Every structure is written in C-alpha cells, then in structure tokens.
Amino acid sequence: MKIGIFDSGLGGLTVVQAMIKSVKGAEIFYIADTKNAPYGEKTPEQILQYSLDITQYLIDLHQIDALIVACNTATSAAIQHLRICYPSLIVIGTEPGIKPAIELTTTGKVGVLATPATLKGDKYQQLTDSLSSQKDVVLFEQACPGLVEQIEKGEIHSHSTKMMLEMWLAPMRENSVDTIVLGCTHYPLVGEVIEKVMQRDLNLIHTGEAIAKRLLTLGQEKGHVNHGDLKITLYSTDAINKKIVSYILEEHTEVKQIAIQK
C-alpha cells in the first residue's frame, strides 16, 4: 500500500509515529508544506487549493492508494472536496477528538486547543454541537496562534512556549478541566509541557492511533496485507527543522525538498 500524508509542517509526523506501531508492508510519502505554513491562519480557499495540489502531486509521482490529511485545519477546509475529486482513493481526515474527551472526563470540563481556523470551521462547529448535547459538559475552547511556529522551530521546551501555554491553560486549570483535546497534530509534541502547566493528571486526546486503525481497516478491505517493511520518505516545500524529524521519528527517514506546481 502506498500512503500519502500531508500537513502544513511536521506536526502530522505524530500520525506517522502512531502508524509505525501498527502499519506494515507499506510506503509512506509525507509532505510538509512548510512553504505555505501555517495553515491555521490561511483562508479556507487557500487551504483547499494547497490540499488539491498536494494530492495531485502524490498521485502523479507515487500512485498513492490512500491519502491521510494529517491536519485538522486542512480536513475542515478540504476533506469533502478531496473525496469527491478522488472517489477511488482512501481518504482519511483528522478531526479533534471531542467524542472520546466527552466520554473520558470526570469533572465535565473539557479543554480544546486548536488553531484559529479549526475552531472557526463548520466541521468543528457541527461536531461540538452534536456531541456536547449528548452529555452535560462545558467546553473551554482556546485558539493557539503561534504555537505551531514554536514547535516547527524546535522550541518545544523553551521559556516562551511555556509562557504561551501558561496564558492559554490558566483558565482551564482554575476551572478543573481534566481532559484536553489536542486539536492540531503538532500539539502532542508539547504534551509534557501542557501536563506540567496544568499541574494535575490529564487525559490528552489526539487522534494518531485512531487514524492508523482506520487506515488498516480500509486498506485491508481493498486487499492490503499487513506484513513486511515500512518505508518512509519525507518531502518538504521549504526548509524544515531536521532535528524535529529525528525527535519524532527515531528511525532513519529519507528527507527531500520539492516544489509543487499548481
């Protein structure tokens, strides 16, 4: 099975990290669209175009069987269009784990950290409206502008990153939030920092494992045999921090820079 994955940067590698544990006999082609990052501060129309261009690139060069949109923002803007445009392709999106968060919380207080574009998106609004009515919970939503850029620079444990998180998380800490949805694939990389700032046992919800499981189910329905080696190639449309790649993916990954034409 040939799998294409893309994100605005390296955050989607947290999805690859989860896939490494369960997916075998496959090739992964990951595109970090760093030239256009961050997606969270772009318009839906821009994000849709980036998503279509990248998908066509992956099909043309690698004949992918499956596409994973490893970005909550791009999923909200593009997933429906991608499924219509490429009906024969397995297309899996990423959305905030509101449902498991609501199921896990014991205080009834759930935090949501996400990019501004994700929180404003119709997909997120529909998701929260349908699920929050099923259980008496209070959602503490927080947009995190600039956090993706901090992570991409490798500033995971820096003082400035901790201060940003302290500002955003203080209201959640004071209101007994016990479950936080990491509504961006970058955010699991600052999970330890979030736990320290919150000063309590937390449920941190991200969706990498769920995506890997869904991919296997759909792949096996199309004849994928989950046996053999897994090869990973990482492409970027601009410069990337290779230390972050090594930090997320301990094994050797081939890294190349590319240009994607419309």
Q: Which residues are known catalytic residues?
A: 71, 184
Place of tokens 């043309």: 60
Domains observed in the chain: 2-94+208-257 (3.40.50.1860), 98-205 (3.40.50.1860)
The Cα–Cα gap between 116 and 250 comes to 31
Does pLDDT of 258 surpass 90? no
pLDDT tens by residue, 29-67: 999 999 998 887 789 999 999 999 999 999 999 999 999
DSSP 185: T
pLDDT tens by residue, 137-164: 999 999 999 999 999 999 999 999 999 9
Q: What is the pLDDT of residue 251?
A: 66
Listing DSSP states for 24-50 in one string gives -SEEEEEEE-GGG--GGGS-HHHHHHH
**Over residues 97-123, mean pLDDT:** 90
Q: Which segments of 133-259 does DSSP mark as H helices, in order?
A: 147-152, 159-174, 191-198, 208-221, 242-248
Instruction: Tell me the angle at which helices 44-62 and 72-85 cross, rounded to the nearest 10 degrees.
Output: 60
Place of tokens 């330890």: 192
Q: What is the pLDDT of residue 135?
A: 79
Residue 177: both structure tokens together = 């939030």
- Which is more confidently placed, 250 or 96? 96
